[in-house]
Structure 1
Amino acid sequence: MVSRSRLISLLTGLALYAMAAMIVGYFGVNAYIGKYGLNARQELDQEIVALTSELERLKAERAEGEKRVALLRSSGIDPDMLDERVRYQLDYANPRDLIQIIRQK
């Protein structure tokens, strides 16, 4: 009888340690590969870098567009810009002009 109760207490202790190890392992694995884990954080950081560079590119593109629009305002029309827009809209070119065709998507 003494050996059986000792065996049961030993197995109970091992079972508790095994369950505790499994719980700690579960949380450890989720901390690494889970939805909010370390791998997800690295992927989010990479996406932030990519989107930040795209934002900078789009800001520069917008600034260039705003600059071109400002040249066409009635308060101070740039003659070269006006000439360029008129030629573009009327499909007119001087025979001595060099023409570059840009296809828009």
Structure 2
Amino acid sequence: MWTRHHKKRKFGRLVLPAVTVAFLSYFGYHSVHGDFGLRAAQEFERQRVVRGGELAQLVAQRKQLERQVELMSDGSLERDMIDEKARYQLNMSRPDEIVIFDKAL
């Protein structure tokens, strides 16, 4: 009866550690550089801060517009406000007036 004897190879001892290193390297790289990694989290935080500032600006602008609409609504209609808006929209003034345009309007 013939039996085969295999020598223990050095290569066989390195397979499991090599696979483990490859596995950890892959997931380690993607935990830092991937779509949901640490760098992406920093970018998301930066965008959140920027958009929070934009939101605050838009909220302030909306409140200003709501105040103007409130002044022009029924019951509290102010003649000066109507006159101001009409002159601005029609681009007209009286001969004795000085007109200063503000970009915020």
Unmatched runs of 5 consecutive residues or more in structure 1: none
Instruction: Compare the two structures and name the one with the higher helix fraction.
Output: 1
Which AA in structure 2 matches 1:97? E
Unmatched runs of 5 consecutive residues or more in structure 2: none
Q: Quick one: structure 1 residues 28 and 101, their matched pair in 2 at CA, closer, same or farther if it must change by over 3 Å?
A: same
Distance 2:7 2:90 in 1: 101
Asked whether 1:88 is paired with 2:93, we answer: no
Tell me how many residue pairs correspond in the alignment.
100
Measure how far apart 1:86 and its partner are: 2.3
Q: Which residue of 1 aligns with 2:72?
A: 72
Structure 1 length as normaliser, TM-score?
0.82
RMSD: 2.2
Asked whether 1:36 is paired with 2:36, we answer: yes
User: Which moved further from structure 2: 14-23 or 55-64?
Assistant: 14-23
Structure 2 length as normaliser, TM-score?
0.82
Distance 1:34 1:66 in 2: 44
Distance 1:75 1:81 in 2: 13
Distance 2:69 2:41 in 1: 41
Q: Which residue of 1 aligns with 2:99?
A: 99
Q: What is the aligned-residue identity percentage?
A: 30
Aligned to 2:7, the other structure's residue is in SS state helix
Which AA in structure 2 matches 1:72? M
Distance 1:89 1:24 in 2: 66
Which AA in structure 1 matches 2:23? I
